Amino acid sequence: MAAKQEIVHVNSSSELQSLFSSTTYVALDFYADWCGPCKTISPFYAQLSDKHAVPGQLAFAKVNVDHVQDVARQYGVTAMPTFLFFKDGKQVAVNGQAAIRGADARSLTAAADKLGGLAKKRAAEA
């Protein structure tokens, strides 16, 4: 088994681009330090990363909207927390949802399970 992958903190647009080029599937959590719901879901998101992240295949990353405004603007984040999903750098809907807005543990778990399955399959085929 590969070593456990930590949550990736994205600090700039270029860091995000390099994450996209190194990793097939990326989940992004847009949050702010002030935001209570963001804080509530944060340990949950970390658990999902522990369970599903696969180096090179699936990464769980976080974007602090206060610090990395351009990325939040690029993806039209309008409420927090917002979770978006990417494949090869392109935003994709998971389970029919283009974005998960709010601390919605159930939808987030379902999306992570789905991506985790796809990532595992790709890793096995590689």
Partner 1 sequence: MHSKVVVIGSGPAAHTAAIYLSRAELKPVLYEGFMANGTAAGGQLTTTTEVENFPGFPKGIMGQALMDDMRAQSERFGTEIVTDTVTTLDLSSRPFKYSTEFNPDETHTADTVILATGASARRLNLPGEDKYWQNGVSACAVCDGAVPIFRNKPLFVIGGGDSAAEEALFLTKYASHVNVLVRRDVLRASKTMANRLLANKNVTVHFNSVGSEIRGGDDGLMSHLVVKNVATGEEKVHEANGLFYAIGHDPATALVKGQLDVDEDGYVITKPGTTETSVEGVFAAGDVQDKRYRQAITSAGTGCMAALEAEKYLAEREDA
Question: Catalytic residue positions?
Answer: 35, 38
Contact pattern for partner 1 over residues 46 through 85, marking x by CB under 8 A? -------------------xx--x--xx--xxxxx-----
Contact pattern for partner 1 over residues 15 through 44, marking x by CB under 8 A? -----------------x-xxxxxxx----
Cβ closest to partner 1, residue 51 vs residue 73? 73
CA distances from 82 to 2, 88, 93, 124 (A): 29, 20, 13, 30
Give the contacts of 116 (CB within 8 A, at least 6 positions apart): 48, 51, 52, 54, 58
- What gap in Å lies between CA 7 and CA 95, rounded to an integer? 22
Among 67, 74, 69, residue whose Cα is nearest residue 91: 74
Cβ at position 107, least distance to partner 1 in Å: 12
Interacting residue ranges for partner 1, rule: CB under 8 A: 32, 34-40, 65-66, 69, 72-73, 76-80, 101-105
